[in-house]
Chain A
Amino acid sequence: MILRAAGVSKQFGSVQALRDVSLDVAPGERVALLGHNGAGKTTLFRIILGFIPADAGQVSVNGHLPGSTLARQHISYLPENVVFPKMLTGREIVSYYAKLKSADKAEVDVALEKVDLVDAADRRCGTYSKGMRQRLGLAQALVGMPKLLLLDEPTSGLDPLSRQRFYDLVSDIANAGAAVLLSSHGLSELEAKTDRVAILRRGALVANAPLAELQRSANLPVRIRIRSNLRDVEAVHQALGGDRVNGLSVEFSCLQPDKMARLSAISALGDAVNDVDVSPPNLDEIYRYFLTADETTEQIS
């Protein structure tokens, strides 16, 4: 494990920012840390970076105390809002952080190449677009061969195309052996591009599992919509139940285990059915489920 956090708690005044959070990240793993604003994502990052101490619990980065020089040698960080000096070029900024990390000079060009900023590298970063600035931030995080990348909401405000490219990059980094822990507002932003999803709710970890497993355990109903014709729509509604929609359609939901039985019932109706749409719960619904589920809901791990 490159990152180990066990039973981490942190209190700010009367606010319990983190309660008993345990999270491990292995080399090559991409873990998404989800939560609403103020759920404790940034607090956890700051503890991992050693900026603030935890009230309780242990954190280690590659076996070292957070904030120690040895831990910082293995960590790269991209804060949520970072504004680089507008007067400096992209290349100057990346080589500045490369020098701080005692990284090889050649790494600067490699990093700029990876984030596709070679053409803009010698332009002042004040002229960069939001997506380019975010990629510049990632480039500085790439130098120094970090074993753990902490990316705080790296894709917020990016358009879908840039976001996709960003996650492709993250996958490349993870494939090269680095662990990536990134935070995000919502599941849909992740586009299923991470190996594991951890969800923080008011400082507590309410989920920590691969996305498919979360989908299963949330056990949200599947929505099925059938298109029929004027003649048969009433008979279909009688046979299957659910709601009449738009005059010609019938819609109902069923639980995942019942799905196949319902589908064979639909196909038994033969010509009465023109078309069937099956929509599994979308990522936002799953996310909402974990954020609103009862406090007493068992933690899934």
Chain B
Amino acid sequence: MNAILAIAQTEIRIGVRNRWVVLSTLILLVFALLLVLLGSAPSGATKADSLSVMVASLSTLSVYLVPLIALLLSFDAIAGEIDRGTLQLTFASPVSRGQVLIGKFLGHVFVLGIAVLSGYGIAGAVAYWTGQHTGVEGIGDLVRLIVTSIALGATFISIGYVASASVRQTGTAAALAVAIWLFAVVLYDLALLGGLLASSDGLFAKTLFPYLLAANPADAFRVFNMAGIDMAGSATGLAANGSAMPFSPYLAIVSPFIWTGLGLVVSTVILKRIQP
């Protein structure tokens, strides 16, 4: 346990010292503030809580930004340490390789959590004080967004470990991480949309589509958050289909957790086979 905490603490320390925390907080904050300040125009004079409106826009932002930040945090975790020779040192010590991975995971999730919490927290505070009809409900939406964003980040951190552990070079791991991001948050949705267009009434749209949507942790995250925000009008894009799903859209949040577990198990298995 001591070793796991030491590994996590070191990852956090490195994240703070090399400005990772500050940089990712700023990125999230800038985008969130842009949405808060510019996004208040379309909501106009509706009765909607402007905090909830912001959360709706932010959950779409999260789908793109959070996995990217998570993958950038994790792609170097194993390949980079092999490159630099420090993983050999760690493996020579009495800690198990599973402990190494868990320690890194806790550290990276903490770093990402700080960034999400402060980025969205500050943006949320701005929206709360400047917006209209803000209340407890909007704060609930924001908390839900922050917690699930961290969960989404954790998912892609663990997937990033799989990429990092499967290749020997940091450069290859980086390329793999970008490919994973592109596939998960862009190409996958495009493919689903294509499928919907091709058979808007067929088997695909009625049965397969909701499951395929939930299978992608990023889409599942959006479905869950949109379902949570109690206004059908602000739900857009793929998630608008949520109401017609064969299962409760709240169940979709299981998906990122399953992927996190899967990513951790797979990367541990690969890590145990690595011969540094």
B202: A residues at CB distance < 8 A: none
Q: Does B276 contact A (CB under 8 A)?
A: yes
**Shortest Cβ distance from residue A287 to the other chain B in the assembled complex, whole angstroms:** 27
- The answer to whether residues A100 and B6 also contact, given A51-B276, A87-B14, A88-B13 and a CB cut-off of 8 A, is yes
Residues of A2-27 whose CB lies within 8 A of B: none
Q: Residues of A within 8 Å of B, CB-based: how many?
A: 30
Q: Is the CB of B86 within 8 A of A101?
A: no
Q: Does A46 contact B (CB under 8 A)?
A: yes
Cα A81 to Cα B13 in complex, Å, equals 23
- The answer to whether residues A88 and B92 also contact, given A79-B85, A83-B84, A83-B85 and a CB cut-off of 8 A, is no
Q: Is the CB of B2 within 8 A of A52?
A: no
- Identify the stretch in A28-36, A68-76, A177-185, A209-217 within 8 Å (CB) of chain B at 4 or more residues: A68-76
Q: Is the CB of A100 within 8 A of B88?
A: no
Residues of B64-104 whose CB lies within 8 A of A: 84-86, 88-96
**Shortest Cβ distance from residue B178 to the other chain A in the assembled complex, whole angstroms:** 23
Q: Does B17 contact A (CB under 8 A)?
A: yes
Q: Is the CB of A92 within 8 A of B10?
A: yes
Q: Is the CB of B6 within 8 A of A82?
A: no
Q: Does A288 contact B (CB under 8 A)?
A: no
Q: Is the CB of A87 within 8 A of B276?
A: no
Cα A49 to Cα B90 in complex, Å, equals 11
**Shortest Cβ distance from residue B175 to the other chain A in the assembled complex, whole angstroms:** 22
Cα A96 to Cα B92 in complex, Å, equals 14
Q: Does B46 contact A (CB under 8 A)?
A: no
- The answer to whether residues A99 and B6 also contact, given A46-B275, A72-B93, A73-B94 and a CB cut-off of 8 A, is yes
Q: Is the CB of A97 within 8 A of B89?
A: yes
Q: Does B258 contact A (CB under 8 A)?
A: no
A97: B residues at CB distance < 8 A: 89, 93
Which residue of B10, B17, B93, B275 is within 8 Å of A51 (Cβ)?
B275
Q: Is the CB of A84 within 8 A of B94?
A: no
Q: Is the CB of B2 within 8 A of A99?
A: yes
Q: Does A140 contact B (CB under 8 A)?
A: yes
Q: Is the CB of B94 within 8 A of A101?
A: yes
Q: Is the CB of A88 within 8 A of B88?
A: no
A290: B residues at CB distance < 8 A: none
Which residue of B7, B88, B94 is within 8 Å of A69 (Cβ)?
B94
Q: Does A77 contact B (CB under 8 A)?
A: yes
Q: Is the CB of B14 within 8 A of A82?
A: no
Question: A138-165: contact bitstring with B at CB < 8 Å (1 yes, 0 no)?
Answer: 0010001000001000000000000000
Question: B1-44: contact bitstring with A at CB < 8 Å (1 yes, 0 no)?
Answer: 01101110010011001100000000000000000000000000
B93: A residues at CB distance < 8 A: 72, 97, 100-101, 144
B92: A residues at CB distance < 8 A: 49, 72, 75-77, 150
Cα A22 to Cα B51 in complex, Å, equals 72
A87: B residues at CB distance < 8 A: 13-14, 17-18
Q: Does A85 contact B (CB under 8 A)?
A: yes
**Shortest Cβ distance from residue A190 to the other chain B in the assembled complex, whole angstroms:** 23
**Shortest Cβ distance from residue B14 to the other chain A in the assembled complex, whole angstroms:** 5
Q: Is the CB of A96 within 8 A of B91?
A: no
Q: Is the CB of A102 within 8 A of B14?
A: no
In the assembled complex, 7 residue pairs joining A and B whose CB atoms fall closer than 8 Å, in A order, are A49-B92, A51-B275, A75-B92, A77-B88, A77-B92, A102-B3, A102-B94
CB-based closest 9 A-B pairs:
A99-B6, A82-B85, A87-B17, A77-B92, A83-B84, A100-B93, A79-B85, A72-B94, A52-B275
